[in-house]
Amino acid sequence: MEAPNLSPQSLNCFIHCFSDAGQFHLNRTLCRVWFDSGHLYLNVPQHGKKTTISLVRFYANFLAMEQAKNEWITGRVITEAVIDLPRSYNDESNRSILMSAADAIGVRIRRVFDRPLFAASVYVQFQQNVQKVLVFELGSSVLCSSLLEIRPSDRNITVLASKTFYGCPLLKFFGEKLGLKIQEHGREFRVLHAECERVKNVLASGKPNGKVDVSFLPRRPGVEMLAPLVDLDMLTNLNLDWIRRNIRQCLLQAGETSFNVVEEVVLVGVFVGNPVVRTTLESLFPGRRLRNELDPGTFVRTFLRLSAATIYGNAMVVSMDHIDRMWPEI
């Protein structure tokens, strides 16, 4: 398996902040996992053909690549791992598959860290009399908000709710506008995704707008087939609404209707340093502390590497959402 080429955007470019997420979501939706005889399987391209492999083997291939990379960097044999597990992968099924995959390549998993819990715990020493914290993550793969409660007596942290959004809001918007469904119109969605990315590049080059070419679609009754015009304001508003809805749904999941319940926000991911994102969070949480004293893009892995080196005998650190980059494009 080889990692695909990711979109060539600047990490500080709000125009492209959901580009890779759109590609990953498309791959995962079109290359679906199925259950048969007690095991999960998926198709992967191999030598120009589709080959069926178990999901355990797919995870094992990913872990083996991480193992080889770490052995090349460190110059030593790697037999143990510490896992950085995002909320989107933190369920019983994924944990079981992960453990089986590690066993298959002879790697012992020393500990699995829940990413939002770990991110909040790094800041616990700074937090005085704070009980409700929102961990806001905006990276290249997904958008995720998690509401956590810190118990005053012992500073124990509990995740009250977590909401993950997948995909690109611009692609989602045009998919709905054109009456397309990913499962039924996979080829059309591939072309539409490419068109959305082309228009983003047009806007990033400084031009005021760009047209999404939909001429590849057959004419359908009741569906407007004129090339939609996209300008920077439209794209920015779609992205910001995606962020606001993600946070709002996280709070509602915890039974909270007001943003005021959040006392501090911990920032995680490469895009949270973007000025537009930060201004939006400041407007949603006026007067609340945005915790970014540490580099939001790297501090989780940095602290996990430190833990791996000092506590777990130089185990390698594996971020499980990096497997999204390996997901087959069928």
Q: What is the CATH number of the domain that holds 151?
A: 3.30.420.40
Q: Say whether pLDDT at 228 is over 90.
A: no
DSSP-derived pairing of the beta strands 39-46 and 49-54: antiparallel
Establish if 52 belongs to a structural domain: yes
Residues sharing a CB contact under 8 Å with residue 279, sequence separation 6 or more, in sequence order:
none
Establish if 147 belongs to a structural domain: yes
pLDDT in tens, 179-205: 889 988 899 999 999 999 999 999 999
Do 198 and 320 share a domain, yes or no?
Answer: no
163 or 214, which is more confident? 163
Do 132 and 242 share a domain, yes or no?
Answer: yes
* CATH code of the domain in which 38 resides: 3.30.420
Among 228, 250, 272, identify where a domain stops. 228
Do 268 and 142 share a domain, yes or no?
Answer: yes
Radius of gyration of the chain (CA): 21
Read off the pLDDT of each residue in 275-282 and give the average, rounded to a whole number: 95
Do 46 and 109 share a domain, yes or no?
Answer: yes
Predicted TM-score (pTM) of this structure: 0.90
Q: Say whether pLDDT at 92 is over 80.
A: yes
Among 221-225, 259-263, 297-301, where is mean pLDDT lowest? 221-225
Q: Say whether pLDDT at 48 is over 50.
A: yes
Do 123 and 259 share a domain, yes or no?
Answer: yes
Q: Say whether pLDDT at 258 is over 90.
A: yes
User: pLDDT grade, residue 11 (50/70/90)?
Assistant: very low
Establish if 5 belongs to a structural domain: no
Rounded to the nearest integer, the mean pLDDT of the chain is 90
Establish if 88 belongs to a structural domain: yes
User: pLDDT grade, residue 2 (50/70/90)?
Assistant: very low
Could you give the 3-state DSSP secondary structure of residue 109?
strand
Q: Say whether pLDDT at 3 is over 50.
A: no
User: pLDDT grade, residue 223 (50/70/90)?
Assistant: low
- As a whole number of angstroms, the distance between CA 74 and CA 53 comes to 31
Domain count, the chain: 3
pLDDT of the residue at 226: 65
Do 87 and 144 share a domain, yes or no?
Answer: no
Which residue, 14, 31, 321, is CA-closest to 189? 31
User: pLDDT grade, residue 241 (50/70/90)?
Assistant: very high
Read off the pLDDT of each residue in 88-110 and give the average, rounded to a whole number: 95
Residue type, 30: L
Which residues form the domain of 185? 169-228
Establish if 139 belongs to a structural domain: yes
Establish if 2 belongs to a structural domain: no
Phi, psi of 37, deg, nearest 5: 55, 40
Establish if 23 belongs to a structural domain: yes
Read off the pLDDT of each residue in 99-115 and give the average, rounded to a whole number: 97
- As a whole number of angstroms, the distance between CA 63 and CA 236 comes to 37
Do 122 and 159 share a domain, yes or no?
Answer: yes
Do 160 and 281 share a domain, yes or no?
Answer: yes
Do 273 and 159 share a domain, yes or no?
Answer: yes
296 or 154, which is more confident? 296
Percent of the chain beyond pLDDT 70? 94
Do 152 and 218 share a domain, yes or no?
Answer: no
Establish if 6 belongs to a structural domain: no
